């Protein structure tokens, strides 16, 4: 069963009895040239762009090239990396970070960033392989395999960051209430994962909702365990629909560096 640490972060446990039903939801993206990237991203929701340099500015040009006139908002490029790190579980990008700039509230991150672009600038010498799960396939699998969990994910609100014991500065204190699987006004289905999701304040079914959140964490841990791995080399750029795919990576030894850009398109609302 999932465990929660002192800061409220939930970590799932691999459930062997779920491996058979979750074995087909993992994805290895197609590697494509720039000329084909938009068509493949539109068709598959994910692609690896090859033949680029490791310059982080490639993230901005890739977002413009693949989304075109649908691109609406670009957030700051985030360098990420480290040395000798443990695994990173399946998650969807998006953060609620609001600051005051000259008297105007400004979002540095948005919970509804709908496309993600990740550039590998230096792969780890050992480990660090990526893992990707098709959230749409996962939800449809749960519809028959775990109907109670499916009903919860699609029909019940959660406080998306509610279990955070000590939120970082800039994170609003007002609960962010949403469903882990829902549709936008434009009709796109969103499949979310948050390590800090909690039952909404004063929820009368709090205990059962907490148990279902734990089960969802176990499902994600099991899906990640079963999914095939793929390795991004220096200069390769992963572009994906952040509303559809959940992503993570294996632990690694040595130094690994990537840069991440998240954006909002015209279809995010």
Task: Name the residue among 126, 151, 159, 149 with its Cα closest to residue 222.
Answer: 149
pLDDT confidence bin for 186, thresholds 50/70/90 = confident
- Burial label for 209, CB within 10 Å (0-12, 13-18, 19+), is buried
The answer to whether position 53 is within a domain reads: yes
> Which structural domain range is residue 213 located in?
3-263
pLDDT score of 173? 87
The answer to whether position 84 is within a domain reads: yes
The answer to whether position 93 is within a domain reads: yes
Can you tell me the distance from the alpha carbon of 45 to that of 64, in angstroms, rounded to the nearest whole number? 16
The answer to whether position 224 is within a domain reads: yes
The answer to whether position 268 is within a domain reads: no
pLDDT at position 269 over 90: no
pLDDT tens-digit series, residues 44-102:
999 999 988 999 999 999 999 999 999 999 999 999 989 999 999 999 999 999 999 99
The answer to whether position 81 is within a domain reads: yes
Continuous H helices in 126-226: 135-145, 147-155, 206-226
Structure tokens at 75: 């957030």
The answer to whether position 231 is within a domain reads: yes
CATH classification at residue 195: 3.60.130.10
The answer to whether position 269 is within a domain reads: no
| Total domain count, the chain | 1
pLDDT at position 168 over 90: no
Can you tell me the distance from the alpha carbon of 57 to that of 149, in angstroms, rounded to the nearest whole number? 41
Task: Name the residue among 193, 181, 188, 258 with its Cα closest to residue 223.
Answer: 193
Residue 201, by phi and psi: left (phi above 0), alpha (psi -120 to 50) or beta?
Answer: beta
pLDDT score of 167? 87
pTM (global) more than 0.85: yes
Looking up tokens 């799960």 gives 133
pLDDT score of 70? 95
Task: Name the residue among 20, 45, 48 with its Cα closest to residue 34.
Answer: 48
């Amino acid at each position: 069963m999932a465990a929660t640490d002192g800061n409220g972060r939930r970590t799932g446990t691999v459930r062997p009895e779920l491996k058979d039903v979750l074995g087909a939801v993992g994805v290895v993206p197609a590697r494509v040239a720039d000329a084909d990237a938009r068509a493949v991203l539109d068709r598959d929701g994910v692609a690896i762009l090859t033949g680029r340099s490791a310059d982080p500015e490639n993230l901005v040009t890739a977002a413009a090239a693949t989304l075109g006139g649908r691109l609406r908002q670009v957030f700051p490029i985030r360098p990420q990396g480290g040395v000798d790190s443990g695994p990173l579980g399946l998650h969807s990008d998006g953060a609620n970070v609001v600051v005051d700039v000259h008297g105007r509230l400004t979002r540095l991150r948005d919970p509804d960033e709908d496309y993600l672009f990740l550039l590998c600038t230096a792969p780890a010498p050992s480990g660090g392989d990526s893992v990707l799960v098709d959230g749409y396939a996962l939800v449809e699998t749960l519809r028959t395999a775990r109907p109670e969990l499916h009903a919860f994910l699609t029909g019940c609100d959660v406080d998306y960051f509610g279990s955070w014991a000590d939120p970082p500065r800039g994170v609003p204190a007002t609960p962010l209430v949403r469903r882990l699987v829902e549709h936008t006004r434009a009709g796109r289905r969103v499949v979310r994962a948050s390590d800090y999701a909690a039952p909404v304040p004063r929820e009368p079914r709090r205990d059962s909702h907490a148990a279902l959140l734990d089960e969802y964490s176990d499902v994600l841990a099991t899906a990640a365990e079963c999914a095939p791995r793929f390795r991004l080399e220096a200069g390769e750029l992963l572009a994906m629909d952040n509303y559809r795919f959940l992503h993570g990576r294996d632990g690694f030894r040595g130094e690994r560096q990537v840069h991440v850009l998240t954006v909002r398109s015209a279809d995010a609302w």
